[in-house]
Amino acid sequence: MKTLSCLLIVLFMVSFVLAQEAPTVPAWKQKVEKLKANAIAKMTQEQKDNFKKLQTDVAALKAKSEVTKEDKANLKADIINCLDTIKQPDPATIQKLAADLIKFYADGKISPDEIVKITEDIMAIMLSAGMTESDVEAIIKDIKVIVDHSNLTPEDLKLIANDLKAIINTAKANMPK
């Protein structure tokens, strides 16, 4: 059984792919580019290096992936299908997911029961954002297909997890007090 860590990492990688393949929406694209430029301008060199390592590692993993254009197109279509109805999710649902992730990952592994709970938390966030249950189920199904076709090993997941930890730790260290 694949772990939620795998699912979250693949979702993170899929977001990169979808960002590159998203339909051109000038206002949306301009906003994203502005946010990206502002974030990069505020980063320390260590933070930039951490992101560069993540990008390099993701690119290496992508090379061995068997995710098809159809897999990505299905996920993209399901995400686009619900874009008109989504809104800002309830902050309490996001806080609950964050708290559960911290609690469940404290021992360095996530149990099957914890995966179920985290999946429920993610569904609560999506539903609070105005997505229908069928939209959520379709997106989760698409992500599971991509996870299966990604060919990620436990070592691959650990590599990406360590990259993400480095990014988080550096961000925490550089947060204004």
Note the pLDDT of residue 99: 87
pLDDT of 162 > 50? The answer is yes
The stretch 78-106 carries a mean pLDDT of 86
Give the integer Cα–Cα distance in Å for 46 and 52: 10
Task: Report the alpha-carbon angle 123-171-164, nearest 5.
Answer: 55
Q: Which helix (H) or strand (E) holds 112?
A: helix 112-128
Banded model confidence at residue 1, pLDDT cuts 50, 70, 90:
very low
In a domain, 112, yes or no: no
Q: How far is CA 88 from the centre of its chain?
A: 17
The stretch 154-173 carries a mean pLDDT of 83
Which domain does 80 fall in, by range? 4-44+56-86+131-154
Mean pLDDT of the chain: 80
In a domain, 164, yes or no: no
In a domain, 33, yes or no: yes
Contact 142, 78 (CB under 8 A): yes
For 106-125, the pLDDT digits (tens) are: 777 777 888 888 888 888 98
In a domain, 111, yes or no: no
Based on the structure, what is the number of domains in the chain?
Answer: 1
Give the integer Cα–Cα distance in Å for 32 and 54: 20
Note the pLDDT of residue 159: 87
Tell which wins on pLDDT, 37 or 8: 37
What Å distances lie between residue 21 and 29, 56, 73, 121, 128, CA to CA?
12, 19, 9, 28, 26
In a domain, 118, yes or no: no
In a domain, 23, yes or no: yes
Burial state string for 94-105 with b = 16 or more CB within 10 A and e = fewer than 16: bebbeebbeebe
In a domain, 167, yes or no: no
For 130-146, the pLDDT digits (tens) are: 888 888 889 889 988 98
pLDDT of 171 > 90? The answer is no
